[in-house]
Structure 1
Amino acid sequence: MQTKNMFKRVAAAAGSAVLLGSLAVTTSGTATAASTASCTVPLQAITSAGELKGVTVTGTKPPTSASGTPQHEFTAGAAKLASNWSFSALPAGASLEAYVVLGTSLYAVSDVYSESTGQWEHKETKVGINWDKFSMIEESWAGLSSSSRNARYGLRNDGVLFRWTNGFQTVASAAGFSDIKAMTLISQTATYDTFLATTKAGVLETIRIPSTAPLKPVVKTVRGSTWQGFETLVANSCGTGTLLTAIDKDTNSAYVYSIGHATGTTTPITNLGKVSGTFADPVYSRYRSENDPMLAGE
């Protein structure tokens, strides 16, 4: 993990996003709609060797990327899925947390940094079993108070979409999503979350999930074809829209799209091009810091 002095340098950068295993500092939380060049998608990759690696994709045309030095976290080949990674400053250190599917089980993973020791402590707490049957895990929240809305989502390979609240105590589900190939969170509000998804038939769509029960997702088509080539989507806010990194695992390549505020088929989309380099790691998910705003893409 990073050294004590390294942590102090990056933690002092107000509003920045610190990528674990990297010295890269971005300003993803301050992007405006004026220019995608000021927007980024901060990624956390888990390599086949079990290393955690920061990758920052910038929305220039063509887009660019910068990677940090990998740091060993997991048993090689164990990681299958990960939610967003959340970085938080603590009174005497910092923490980085995510949900990660290791083998067939879901774990709450945390890395806690102590300024007094200059060390990171890695923890894996088992949450559930049979997660080898899932293709997505994500966590969303709205607000920072004790009454904040918080939800975890999972997509099972039979097409059932789950939402857990009150930790994992209350569960709701909806069937009918067996055609989904990849999905990523693009909106968080007090009353709903929205995912951007691709289907096996090539449709790009939004899936809005109201916070009410029972679970009744609202699906809208954004584009009707040509999006079937991407196995992984990772999105970040860009003004009132979204900067999307779409990864084709067949070719180990990534493409970046600037997407306006989602309004169905009238949603503006600009293809910024292919990112140089390869994206061959088995797991990619979003990195966020506690200073980042809620996603607002729909």
Structure 2
Amino acid sequence: MTKWAKYSGMIAAGVLSAGVLTGGLATAQPTGGASTSGATCSIKVGSVTAGGDHRLQTFAIDGSKVVDKIVAKDIYPDGQVRLSATMRFGDTDTGDEAHTGPVIMGPALYDTSYLTPAGGGAVSQKQVTRVGGGWDVYRSLDRSTVVTATTQRDTEYSLHNDGTLYRRNVSYQNGVPSRQVTGWQSGYSGVKAMTLISQTSTYDTFLMTLTSGKLYTAHLPLAGGQVIPGVVKEVRSSTWQGFESLVAAPCGTGTLLLGIDKDSGSGYLYHVGHANGTATTIQSLGKAAGTFTDPAYFLWKNFAGQDLAGE
């Protein structure tokens, strides 16, 4: 994989156990009622199109679409990408813009890296590198990257079809990534969609919708041995089962959340306050402009961008 010198590393209510995350059925659309307190946040929603292009749609907090463009064409073969983790991007010493992140195509995991001119355009130095097979049994993928003045933590999470959530540490030697399973936790069989909402040096937190319609957070400490001592909290008890994909961006101490209903091709924006179980405030911001029919959605995050701080 490619290294760019500027980054000196790889650019490529109540506490419940996780066992409660099982199926069920509920109806209706989510509602809420908290104020965004004058926030001027936005969310950079990425997707892989059916034609294998990388797309960017930026939405303001009022649901209006600020940007809609193809960042790079033909990054992947047509119709192959099933899941994508967060894609990171930013300026390099060459004056170009670097883009990097993992995807799942068919049964295999791939690492992606490439350059474009600032803002997108002709692709150079593209590398889509096969990591290994056996990934057709996973239904969710994301990566949490936390950078300090001296360290960089890259932690990947993947949800197995049997309801086990796996955590892997990603490390680099001479720019080449390697992965090691560092923990797992069972009991997530009812999860329909999940997105990272908080990341620190000691834990990551996901927001999860269930097939039963419930909305939960899963607080996952990085310490604690092979079995992740995750703490799962109910946020809402019903009406969230309609979303097949979630994308979240930081918004102060809360989260700007996009829920995507692939059946209708619609997206809905919410401001989620700092997560605190059923006391968490959620404000519905309305329907996002446009349609959402691409196969895979993810967050575009700038190398120098704010970390998620939703819990």
Report the 3-state secondary structure (helix = DSSP H, G, I; strand = E; otherwise coil) of the residue aligned with 1:132: helix
1:164–1:172 contact (8 Å) kept in structure 2 = yes
Report the 3-state secondary structure (helix = DSSP H, G, I; strand = E; otherwise coil) of the residue aligned with 1:72: coil
TM-score (norm 1): 0.83
1:37-56 aligned at under 5 Å gives the runs: 38-56=40-58
C-alpha distance in structure 1 between counterparts of 2:184 and 2:284, whole Å: 34
1:152-171 aligned at under 5 Å gives the runs: 152-167=156-171, 168-171=179-182
Match of 1:97 in 2: 100
RMSD value over aligned CA atoms?
1.7
Match of 2:130 in 1: 126
2:114–2:123 contact (8 Å) kept in structure 1 = no
Matched, 1:292 2:305: yes
Match of 1:76 in 2: 78
TM-score (norm 2): 0.80
Structure 1 residues 153 and 205: CA distance shift in structure 2, 3 A: same
2:207–2:218 contact (8 Å) kept in structure 1 = yes
Deviation of the 1:69 alpha carbon = 3.3
Deviation of the 1:145 alpha carbon = 4.2
1:207-218 aligned at under 5 Å gives the runs: 207-214=218-225, 215-218=228-231
1:141–1:150 contact (8 Å) kept in structure 2 = yes
Flag the structure with more relative contact order, 1 or 2, with Cα contacts below 8 A and sequence separation at least 6: 2
Aligned length: 261
Match of 1:25 in 2: none
Match of 1:278 in 2: 291
Report the 3-state secondary structure (helix = DSSP H, G, I; strand = E; otherwise coil) of the residue aligned with 2:136: helix
Deviation of the 1:252 alpha carbon = 0.6
- Which sits farther off after the overlay, 203-212 or 149-158? 149-158
Q: Which runs of 5+ in 2 are unaligned?
A: 1-35, 172-178
Q: Which runs of 5+ in 1 are unaligned?
A: 1-32
Match of 2:22 in 1: none
Match of 2:109 in 1: 106
How high is the sequence identity, in percent, across the aligned residues? 38
1:135-284 aligned at under 5 Å gives the runs: 135-167=139-171, 168-214=179-225, 215-284=228-297
Deviations 1:78-110 (CA, angstroms, capped at 9, x unpaired)? 000000110132211331001011121000100
1:197–1:204 contact (8 Å) kept in structure 2 = yes
Structure 1 residues 100 and 257: CA distance shift in structure 2, 3 A: same
